[in-house]
Structure formats: C-alpha cells, structure tokens
Amino acid sequence: TVGSTVVQKSGIQCYNCKEYRHVARECQKLKKAKDAAYHREKMLLCKQEEAGIQLNAE
C-alpha cells in the first residue's frame, strides 16, 4: 500500500548493478572501477593541456 513502511523488493532496481530486489546501498557487488581506457584518455588530455595543445570542447 502507499505509505507503507514495508516495500515490495521485487519492483526495486539497484542503481549500481541494475539487478532487482535490492537498492544501491544494499548492493553486494563491488562498485565498478573506471576502466583503463578512461584513465588513459584522462592522462592524455592532461598531458596535452600541459603541453599547451588546444583541446576541443566536448
């Protein structure tokens, strides 16, 4: 019922892993670390900025 303190967990989806029956704070899966490609791109952008290369706005 609306306003009930008991929530049916079957309709709840986790924001972290996208599975049903739990919320993000109850998620047992490890949080995904950003992958190597993300960090590689970030490092290259920083190096280009330090070198004074004009970067395109995203």
The pLDDT tens digits for 12-31 are 998 888 899 888 888 887 66
Check residue 21 and give left, alpha or beta (phi > 0: left; psi -120 to 50: alpha): left
**Does any domain span residue 18?**
yes
The confidence score (pLDDT) of residue 43 equals: 92
**Does any domain span residue 46?**
no
pTM for this one?
0.37
DSSP 2: T
Length of the chain: 58
The mean pLDDT of 26-55, rounded to a whole number, is 80
**Does any domain span residue 41?**
no
DSSP secondary structure, 3-54, as one string: T-S---GGG-B-TTT--BSS-GGG--SPPPPPPHHHHHHHHHHHHHHHHTPP
**Does any domain span residue 43?**
no
Average pLDDT, the chain: 78
